Amino acid sequence: MENLQEEVLPERIIDEEYKTRRPISPGAEKWLFRPISCLDHGFVVLKDYLGNDSAIVEAARVSYGKGTKSVNEDIGLIRYLRRHLHTTPSEMVEFKFQCKMPIFVARQWIRHRTASVNEYSGRYSEMPNEFYLPDEAVLRKQSPTNKQGRADDLTPANKKKVLEALSEVYGLSFDYYENFLKSDIGLAKELARIHLPLATYTEWYWKIDLHNLMHFLALRLDSHAQHEIQVFGQAMARIINDSVPIAYKAFEDYTLTAMRLSGPEIEFIKNYQLGNEDSTRAEILEKFKNRRETDELMEKLEKLGFF
Amino acid sequence: MENLQEEVLPERIIDEEYKTRRPISPGAEKWLFRPISCLDHGFVVLKDYLGNDSAIVEAARVSYGKGTKSVNEDIGLIRYLRRHLHTTPSEMVEFKFQCKMPIFVARQWIRHRTASVNEYSGRYSEMPNEFYLPDEAVLRKQSPTNKQGRADDLTPANKKKVLEALSEVYGLSFDYYENFLKSDIGLAKELARIHLPLATYTEWYWKIDLHNLMHFLALRLDSHAQHEIQVFGQAMARIINDSVPIAYKAFEDYTLTAMRLSGPEIEFIKNYQLGNEDSTRAEILEKFKNRRETDELMEKLEKLGFF
Amino acid sequence: MENLQEEVLPERIIDEEYKTRRPISPGAEKWLFRPISCLDHGFVVLKDYLGNDSAIVEAARVSYGKGTKSVNEDIGLIRYLRRHLHTTPSEMVEFKFQCKMPIFVARQWIRHRTASVNEYSGRYSEMPNEFYLPDEAVLRKQSPTNKQGRADDLTPANKKKVLEALSEVYGLSFDYYENFLKSDIGLAKELARIHLPLATYTEWYWKIDLHNLMHFLALRLDSHAQHEIQVFGQAMARIINDSVPIAYKAFEDYTLTAMRLSGPEIEFIKNYQLGNEDSTRAEILEKFKNRRETDELMEKLEKLGFF
Amino acid sequence: MENLQEEVLPERIIDEEYKTRRPISPGAEKWLFRPISCLDHGFVVLKDYLGNDSAIVEAARVSYGKGTKSVNEDIGLIRYLRRHLHTTPSEMVEFKFQCKMPIFVARQWIRHRTASVNEYSGRYSEMPNEFYLPDEAVLRKQSPTNKQGRADDLTPANKKKVLEALSEVYGLSFDYYENFLKSDIGLAKELARIHLPLATYTEWYWKIDLHNLMHFLALRLDSHAQHEIQVFGQAMARIINDSVPIAYKAFEDYTLTAMRLSGPEIEFIKNYQLGNEDSTRAEILEKFKNRRETDELMEKLEKLGFF
């Protein structure tokens, strides 16, 4: 944050200025109309916003009918709200993005039902000849332990094989697509696209309030999210971090880097401190009777410096 | 609209100007921080907004990836979207209001679940000594035909009686409230307020997108809505009309002043035109076998100039 | 409806019976666990439900605290609620379906945000070798007038060409998919599927209340919806029609077969009746200054028997 | 749970049995139509439900297309889902309650926007002569430290004073209400009730899925919730505990009795274990620079057995 001047920002695609009586967020203004590239053909760009850190404070303080307090008190209040999951005041901030992403990413994204969406339509418009071809670095093997994860690198030969196969399917699919549309065939657009791959790029406007965006980010910045959607989450996180710096810091401290201890885990730690518990994996497993839960506790204990 | 210069606007409570790269709506800027009085102690004031008529067009056109078209085409598109209930593009516009209203009005209002709300809390803060005392003009009798409506004026003597009774209850309630809180009693605020009347004023921030706001207005501007909430609907309609003039005109033409004909009604009119139907109330009733439905059709036929 | 005995129902996949104190819907019981085939590999099957026509009446009557009235009054009330868009009581009925459909259909479907969804995941599980290959009858040309519609049949030769091309892409894609997963490559599942076509079948649980389901059906039974999603809408409509017969009939009369007249259209018809308007297309166009709106009015006038 | 036979259940208000092909929950069947009394005139009664613990498993397993596994694996899966906040499968269970509560409780309750509601209407129907008169035991002073809490008992004399005052306001208000409605005045119902107290009882149908119900319970069973709404939360928790016993146990272990440690708190504990931190209140305060956050950490450390 301190070397803001030196941060290299993407170029602005529109650069007009207006006068407004609305509250502004300098950090959001900085990002307006600057698309952040994501994957090979995608992007995220902030197109509009409403509110700032003060809007959260103001909404929370409607109970008091009092004016602004000191900056310190405002920070304390925003952090208190986040810490205790009093999330409604953060609904008073809104962001509108334009985003371009592969369809398989869009399918994960759209599961968040609390946003407004307008998507490019393959029924009305021709699909572009743009498909996601992964970078070699992310071509990894199925994780043997994590059903949804990636593990070791593929061999260079296998990477080549995969990328060639993808390119072949993409090329063939698009050739037929063009053929269906433009030749004497003239197939309806809504049918001509059904064989296009899930890696085809699509585009949408996406408008969401800060509370729901943070929920989205908590899930999609997580290391268990598919890499390809994490990239979009990170782009938005960068913008949000500048737009509502106090709220974002609270989100980092109380959500992103936080840990949840279950009732049984609290019990365990307490007894352990009292010397009533050992903590070998086997002993914990005996107690929790669940392999995964035991592994999770072991990991938490380590993170807390127990061993 | 034409004599805008002469329109007397409420005074601005905050009057600062900033520079922004966000799109603006001149009509919304006009209304920012100008509270419109509603009932005896209430108000509606626009505190922030996002988007304008063009934002609707832009979202609808994401399918085409093309730049702005002519103003006429934009108007045509906005009207087309509204006419065919393609409402998602109008979710791309957002309004944030601060409002003050009697609690019984707030209870009707809050049934609209698609808004963000932060309300003054009687658990944390003292309730103000402000209660809705109706204007004499709205003190009317229960409608004998409409279970939720008002009909004839009360007699002047009865009006006086009612207003005196209300004032008495308000006064007594507030005296006890203050007593509970401030004397040696010190009752918890959350309990001290339970006897306060439904006419007590409360206050909230209310943020909603244009699509859902129009749905709210369609219901609350309706003559069947309780008069007291209509007043707030009218205040917001005035602001929205200026903020998104094209979308609001479409809303008037295609929703507020529209009429819905049911399948059986269409059938009836068609047969009537062919001379196969008479249209006395008795005959329609015979056909529709439902008193209310018959009355509704009679009213529609009259409105359409049939007799 | 009258020849219900002769209706051939799909077979039940599970056929157990329990005792319950919950209200039942005989029509819904009839459909439980009977999958209706949709397209070449898809289906819709009712897995669970809550409520029936009486649940709507009961919720609407909470205002009166009175017991059941006559069947006729119940029918009148359900129809009244629908006619006047008092839709909250119909939220008291719920349906849970399991559905299988091509991904491009799932993408249109998921835009309805008011349902609960659990979908088959290509990150965790292998995608099946099932792709939508359209029936010859639906292979039609792009409509020249309707940007999202189909028009004339393709020539038989072109149909053959299209189906062969689709089969080729499907086969090639799936071969590579299996190759990526099973050979020595071992690519992570979440990456191995990105080139699979939008016609790949997916599957989900979908739970929604009756009000929101009717909104879905109003849009997806419409002739402007893509044929492939209409098929699923029709399957659900068949189930709903039996499950809440009174509410569904009201939905047909007041929504599916209804017509909306705009304020300007009402004005036009009234003046026309008074002899103050002519009604050639040119004259209407002059008045409405919009080609599409004029066409829509002409169509409505015809439907109403004006000419 | 073990002495279920001896549990005294409220009486059933309706006791009919039907056959169904739907899955059942024996624990939910037990509670159907048995109202649990809440406060002096209120109640909660389960009127209908959809699904059970197995419905959660089934929805989560749609990814695998495999049949039921062992009971132990099902338990493990439900607990895993809850622990990791994979909450969508629990949306596949639904509960419909009828509830009666004071209006000030209803106002807190309705803030949960994800339920379906049909409420008794004072516009259509006469309000009953029923007002919440608190039990002496809950008449407590405003907490000096917790702005929304209660603390010490009122003196017996003050309790008497408060209850008499409440009764006086309730009586006077209702007398005028009856007067407005029934005498020669005939004031419209929607106006005649505006002076009735917030303690007036209202009634509604409330339908919600298990995920959102658990979110409601997490907030309303909390000791910071107003006592009067906690009572309703506890009644529903009792029903849910029997209806989906595995999911409810997971909710207890991973939500109700869980603790969240922030990033800075994790850091602190780790350093403390390494001997790099002292842990007097003053030292922690110095580090966290926030009184409330310090108190919260102190409390957590104590709960974890640190001192």
Model confidence pLDDT, tens digit, residues B109-156: 999 999 999 999 999 999 999 999 999 999 999 888 777 788 889 999
Q: Are residues A46 and A69 in the same domain?
A: yes
pLDDT on residue B67: 55
| Per-residue pLDDT tens digits for A120-167 | 999 999 999 999 999 999 999 988 877 778 888 999 999 999 999 999
Q: Are residues C274 and C249 in the same domain?
A: no
Count of residues in chain C: 307
Tell me if chain D has a CB within 8 Å of the CB of C282: no
A33: left (phi over 0), alpha (psi -120 to 50) or beta: left
The minimum CA-CA distance between A130 and chain B, rounded to whole Å, is 15
Task: Please give the residue that has the higher pLDDT: either A134 or D8.
Answer: A134
Q: Which residues of B touch A124 (CB under 8 A)?
A: 63-64
Tell me if chain D has a CB within 8 Å of the CB of C63: yes
Mean pLDDT of C274-291: 84
Count of residues in chain D: 307
Mean pLDDT of B80-103: 97
Helix (H) or strand (E) holding B75: helix B71-83
Helix (H) or strand (E) holding A170: helix A156-182
Q: Are residues B166 and B283 in the same domain?
A: no
Tell me if chain B has a CB within 8 Å of the CB of A272: no
With beta carbons less than 8 A apart as the criterion, state whether C300 and C279 touch.
no
The CATH number of whichever domain residue B35 belongs to comes to 3.30.1360.170
CA dist., res. D296 & res. A76, Å (int): 14
Residue C149: band (very low, low, confident or very high) from pLDDT cuts 50, 70, 90:
confident
Q: Test A304 with D273 for CB contact under 8 angstroms.
A: yes
Residue D164 lies in a domain: yes
Q: Test C257 with B274 for CB contact under 8 angstroms.
A: no
3-class SS at A32?
strand
Helix (H) or strand (E) holding B47: strand B42-50
Count of residues in chain B: 307
Q: One of A34, A82, A193, A220 is an active-site residue; which one?
A: A220
3-class SS at B274?
coil
Q: Test C253 with B259 for CB contact under 8 angstroms.
A: no
Cα-Cα-Cα-Cα dihedral of C165, C171, C173, C179, to 10°?
-160
pLDDT on residue B273: 87
Q: Test A62 with B16 for CB contact under 8 angstroms.
A: no
With beta carbons less than 8 A apart as the criterion, state whether C13 and C45 touch.
yes
CA dist., res. A52 & res. C24, Å (int): 51
From the list A256, A257, A262, which residue is nearest D83 (CB)? Answer: A262
Touching B (3+ Cβ pairs <8 A), the chains are A, C, D
Q: Test B258 with C256 for CB contact under 8 angstroms.
A: no
Residue A63: band (very low, low, confident or very high) from pLDDT cuts 50, 70, 90:
low
Q: Are residues C89 and C205 in the same domain?
A: yes
| Per-residue pLDDT tens digits for C187-234 | 999 999 999 999 999 999 999 999 999 999 999 999 999 999 999 999
Indicate which residues of B carry an active-site annotation. Answer: 220
Tell me if chain C has a CB within 8 Å of the CB of D62: yes
Q: Which residue of C has its CA nearest to A179?
A: C162
Q: Which residue of A has its CA nearest to D148?
A: A63
Sign for the CA dihedral angle at B75, B79, B82, B86 comes to negative
Helices C263-273 and C291-303: angle between axes, nearest 10 degrees: 60
The minimum CA-CA distance between C136 and chain B, rounded to whole Å, is 28
Nearest to residue B106, comparing CAs of D205, D208, D198, C62? D198
pLDDT greater than 70 at residue C165: yes
The average confidence (pLDDT) of chain D is 93
Q: Are residues D63 and D164 in the same domain?
A: no
The minimum CA-CA distance between A217 and chain B, rounded to whole Å, is 20
* Interface test mutation site (partner D, options A259, A288, A296, max chain D beta carbons within 10 A): A259
* Interface test mutation site (partner C, options B62, B211, B251, B254, max chain C beta carbons within 10 A): B254
| Per-residue pLDDT tens digits for C5-48 | 568 999 999 989 999 999 999 999 999 999 999 999 999 999 99
pLDDT greater than 60 at residue A237: yes
Mean pLDDT of A217-234: 96
Q: One of C34, C82, C193, C220 is an active-site residue; which one?
A: C220
pLDDT greater than 80 at residue A277: no
From the list C262, C271, C272, which residue is nearest B254 (CB)? Answer: C262
Q: Test C262 with B253 for CB contact under 8 angstroms.
A: yes
Residue C120 lies in a domain: yes
Residue C130 lies in a domain: no
pLDDT greater than 80 at residue D255: yes
Tell me if chain C has a CB within 8 Å of the CB of D126: no
* A220 is known as an active-site residue: yes
Q: Test A252 with D266 for CB contact under 8 angstroms.
A: no
Q: Are residues B238 and B155 in the same domain?
A: no
CA dist., res. D90 & res. C106, Å (int): 21
Which residues lie across from A18 on neighbouring strands? B20
Q: Which residues of B touch D122 (CB under 8 A)?
A: 104
Q: Test B120 with A48 for CB contact under 8 angstroms.
A: no
Model confidence, pTM: 0.96
With beta carbons less than 8 A apart as the criterion, state whether C270 and B305 touch.
yes
Q: Test A263 with D254 for CB contact under 8 angstroms.
A: yes
The minimum CA-CA distance between C211 and chain D, rounded to whole Å, is 11
| Per-residue pLDDT tens digits for B225-266 | 999 999 999 999 999 999 999 999 999 999 999 999 999 999
pLDDT on residue B1: 42
Of A219, A241, A256, which residue is a domain's last? A256
Residue C233 lies in a domain: yes
pLDDT greater than 80 at residue B276: no
3-class SS at D176?
helix
Q: One of D34, D82, D193, D220 is an active-site residue; which one?
A: D220
Mean pLDDT of A28-45: 98
Q: Which residues of D touch A261 (CB under 8 A)?
A: 258-261, 304
The minimum CA-CA distance between D228 and chain C, rounded to whole Å, is 23
From the list C148, C161, C168, which residue is nearest A190 (CB)? Answer: C148
Tell me if chain B has a CB within 8 Å of the CB of D111: yes
pLDDT on residue A5: 58
* DSSP E strand boundaries for A71-139: 94-102, 116-119
Q: Are residues C52 and C167 in the same domain?
A: no
pLDDT greater than 60 at residue A236: yes
* DSSP E strand boundaries for D89-229: 94-102, 116-119, 140-142, 150-153, 201-209
Tell me if chain A has a CB within 8 Å of the CB of C301: no
pLDDT on residue C281: 85
* Interface test mutation site (partner C, options D84, D118, D193, max chain C beta carbons within 10 A): D118
pLDDT on residue B2: 47
Q: Which strands sit side by side in the sheet containing A116-119, from one edge to the other? A: A36-38, A42-50, A94-102, A201-209, A116-119
Amino acid at residue number B142: Q
Tell me if chain D has a CB within 8 Å of the CB of A273: yes
The minimum CA-CA distance between C48 and chain D, rounded to whole Å, is 6
Q: Are residues B100 and B163 in the same domain?
A: no
Residue A180: band (very low, low, confident or very high) from pLDDT cuts 50, 70, 90:
very high
Task: Please give the residue that has the higher pLDDT: either D212 or A7.
Answer: D212
Task: Please give the residue that has the higher pLDDT: either B127 or D183.
Answer: B127
CA distances from B241 to B30, B66, B126, B213, B217 (A): 12, 28, 36, 12, 12
Residue C60 lies in a domain: yes
Task: Please give the residue that has the higher pLDDT: either A134 or A5.
Answer: A134
Cα-Cα-Cα-Cα dihedral of A271, A277, A280, A281, to 10°?
-60
pLDDT greater than 50 at residue C1: no
Q: Are residues C183 and C73 in the same domain?
A: no
- Hey, what are D254's tokens? 């991973």
pLDDT on residue C147: 75
The minimum CA-CA distance between C254 and chain B, rounded to whole Å, is 5
Q: Test D257 with A273 for CB contact under 8 angstroms.
A: no
| Per-residue pLDDT tens digits for D60-106 | 998 655 555 788 889 999 999 999 999 999 999 999 999 999 999 99
| Count of alpha carbons within 13 angstroms of residue D242, beta-carbon side | 20
* Interface test mutation site (partner B, options D164, D191, D212, D219, max chain B beta carbons within 10 A): D191
Of D148, D163, D192, which residue is a domain's last? D192
Tell me if chain B has a CB within 8 Å of the CB of D164: no
CA distances from D141 to B159, B217, D146, D231 (A): 40, 43, 11, 19
Q: Which residue of A has its CA nearest to C165?
A: A176
Residue C63: band (very low, low, confident or very high) from pLDDT cuts 50, 70, 90:
low
Q: Are residues D46 and D112 in the same domain?
A: yes
Task: Please give the residue that has the higher pLDDT: either A295 or C275.
Answer: A295
The minimum CA-CA distance between B231 and chain A, rounded to whole Å, is 22
* Interface test mutation site (partner B, options C224, C266, C295, C297, max chain B beta carbons within 10 A): C266
Count of residues in chain A: 307
Nearest to residue D76, comparing CAs of A293, A144, C125, A282? A293
Mean pLDDT of B285-289: 89
Q: Are residues D113 and D56 in the same domain?
A: yes
Q: State the residue for tokens 């760009």.
A: A45
From the list D141, D169, D200, which residue is nearest B188 (CB)? Answer: D141
- Hey, what are B16's tokens? 């600062």
Residue D143: band (very low, low, confident or very high) from pLDDT cuts 50, 70, 90:
confident
DSSP result, chain C: -TTGGGPPPPPPS----EEESS---HHHHHHBT-PEEETTTEEEEEEEEE--HHHHHHHHGGGTT-----HHHHHHHHHHHHHTT--GGGGG-EEEEEEEEEHHHHHHHTT-TTSEEEE--TTTSPPPS-B----GGG-EEEPSS-TT-EEEEPPHHHHHHHHHHHHHHHHHHHHHHHHHHHSS--B-HHHHTTTSBTTBEEEEEEEEEHHHHHHHHHHHSSTTS-HHHHHHHHHHHHHHHHHSHHHHHHHIIIIIT-EEE-HHHHHHHHHHHTT-----HHHHHHHH--HHHHHHHHHHHHHTT--
Q: Are residues C233 and C162 in the same domain?
A: no
Q: Which residue of A has its CA nearest to C157?
A: A185
Q: Test B120 with A33 for CB contact under 8 angstroms.
A: no
- Hey, what are A20's tokens? 């407004």
3-class SS at B231?
helix
Q: Test B190 with D103 for CB contact under 8 angstroms.
A: no
Question: What domain count does chain C have?
Answer: 3
Nearest to residue C22, comparing CAs of A157, D49, B230, A216? D49
With beta carbons less than 8 A apart as the criterion, state whether A212 and A112 touch.
yes
Residue B130 lies in a domain: no
Could you tell me the residue range of the domain that residue B238 belongs to?
A: 10-122+202-256
The average confidence (pLDDT) of chain B is 93
